[in-house]
Structure 1
Amino acid sequence: MAAGLALGACTSVVAPDHLRICRDVMPALHAEGTAIREIRYGPVAGYEHAVRIAYLAREPGQENRSHHLICVFAGGGADTARFDLVRLETERGPLSPVRLQILKRWWLGNAAITAAAAARRQAEAAVPAVPMPLAYGLQQAANGLVPATLYGLLATAFALVYGLIGRINLAFGEIAVAGAYAAIGLVAITATSLGPGPALGLALAVGALTAAATNLAVGRAVVAPLIGRRRNGQAVLMATVGLAVALGEALRLTHGAAARWAPPIASGPIPVVRAGDFVTTVTLNQMSVAGFALATALGLVWLMRASRFGRSWRAFADDPGMAALCGIDQGRLIALTFALSGAVAGAAGFAHAMHFGSVHFGISTVFGLKALVAAILGGVGSVPGAFVGGLVLGLAETAWSSYLPIEWRDIAVYTALVLLIVVRPTGLFDTNGRPV
Structure 2
Amino acid sequence: MYTKLMNVGILSGIVLLFAACKNEGDDLGDENDSGVITTVSEIDYDFDVPATYVFTRDSETTVSFGGQSDRLYMGKEILGFFDVNTTKTAENVKSAFNHSENGNDFDDANLNESSKKIQNKVASSNDLNDAVFAAESQNLFISYIDKFFAEIVPSKDVVASKGVAGYVGEKPRYVNSKGMEYNQLFNKGLIGALVVDQVLNNYLGDVRVGNEEYIADNTNETLLEGENYTTYEHHFDEAYGYVYGAADNPIAPVAKGDDKFLFTYITQVNGMSAFSGIQDQIFSAFKIGRAAVVAQDYDVLEDAIEVLQYQISKVVAVRAVYYLEAGKNNLAAQEYESAFHGLSEAYGFIYSLQFTRNPNTGEAYLSISEVEALLSKLDAGDGFWDLTDGTVLDEISNTIADKFDFTVAEAAE
| TM-score, reference length from structure 1 | 0.27
Greater Rg over alpha carbons, structure: 1
Q: Which has the higher strand share?
A: 1
| TM-score, reference length from structure 2 | 0.28
Q: Which has the higher contact order (CA 8 A, sep 6+)?
A: 1
